[in-house]
Amino acid sequence: MHLSDFQIFLLISIIKIVVVLGITLTAVAYTVLLERKVLGRLQNRWGPSRVGPFGMLQPLADGIKLFLKEDMMPLAVERPLFILAPLIALSCALVSIAVVPFGRRTLVHGVDIFQISNINIGLLVILGITSIGVYGVALSGWSSNNKYSLFGSLRASAQLVSYELALGLSLVGVILRAGTLSLRGIVDSQSAHGLISWNFFGGFQFVAFFIYLMAAYAETNRTPFDLPEAESELVAGYHTEYSSMKFAMFFMAEYANMITVACVATLLFFGGATSPFGHLFDNVAVLNGPIIGALLSVFWFVVKIFGFLLLYIWVRGTLPRFRYDQLMGFGWKFLMPVAILNILATALALAYHS
């Protein structure tokens, strides 16, 4: 059978999408398990340990439980929007993965297999999709017709819109250094000497990184910025009225967002799929074969993502929750001015060097 170029492209793209989606959803399930385990250890207890060896089958059991639970539909909800909201939240969280390059450029029949689509404005696409994700939260709270849900969603949308600004501004320094908005291009700009040419170390973007990290915690509604779902004040925030799979969708969206945010941090500040050793081991033939080399690049990417996920859980186990006015003051009066100063400093340094 002979396939045309377009058919090959279509076939490989579909396979890529299926595989990446499968891996992301599995990663989401196991991030939940990792969080429960590590949080358990941080609080001097075991965490889930009964289902399967070391509790490894716990996500499967949770999934079955959520699937089989009764799907309650409260009578006073705005029905179409109530159903639409979790779909928006989950699909926005999953779509961003499409532009992430998670390995070095590896062409099979002229198609890069480690990135679903290499878009020349990849970073802006991720920011755009994140900003659309606000609607999932906002609409879920409003359509639930419940005062706690509405408060939760008002808090969440105000917080997301405020921190999006600091988040966007913190990335400008990296874009200035790379001179491109394509994620592959940004990764390539840091690949010269391994660790020391990453934006975090060699690029002096650590201020931008910490601004990004804090804004990203707020964007994903994680502790210490999890006011939208503060259980001591708001029952469960915007997803109070949701049950069964609709609740699971919000839950998965939160963890998928965590993974996306970790991907962006890795790509922008920690060199993406490049090795921290740079070209140190380029003359070791075993590590540079076409297959082992490609797998090694994916390995470095996964290690970095894993580090970020552990950091998330560590922070959740350590820090208490902010008060709402402190949250807003921190975002607008501290993070944003510092981000602008960082842009100014980076631009001046680049202008001085060029």
Chain residues binding other proteins by CB under 8 A are: 81, 119-121, 124-125, 127-128, 130-132, 134-135, 138-139, 141-142, 150, 153-154, 157-158, 161, 164, 168, 181
CB of 86 to other proteins, least distance (A): 15
Query: Alpha-carbon distance 221 to 127, whole Å?
Result: 16
Query: Alpha-carbon distance 198 to 269, whole Å?
Result: 6
> Is the Cβ of residue 61 or residue 154 nearer to other proteins in the bound state?
154
Taking residue 295's Cβ as centre, other Cβ atoms within 10 Å add up to 12
> Is the Cβ of residue 139 or residue 264 nearer to other proteins in the bound state?
139
> Is the Cβ of residue 221 or residue 297 nearer to other proteins in the bound state?
221
Element (H, E) at 315: helix 290-318
**Token pair 């988040």 in the structure block, residue:** 167
CB of 344 to other proteins, least distance (A): 15
CB of 113 to other proteins, least distance (A): 20
Query: Alpha-carbon distance 3 to 9, whole Å?
Result: 10
CB of 123 to other proteins, least distance (A): 9
- Paired tokens of 60: 């499967």
CB of 120 to other proteins, least distance (A): 6
**Half-sphere exposure (Cβ direction) of 80: Cα atoms closer than 13 Å:** 0
Query: Alpha-carbon distance 191 to 170, whole Å?
Result: 21
Taking residue 322's Cβ as centre, other Cβ atoms within 10 Å add up to 20
> Is the Cβ of residue 22 or residue 329 nearer to other proteins in the bound state?
329
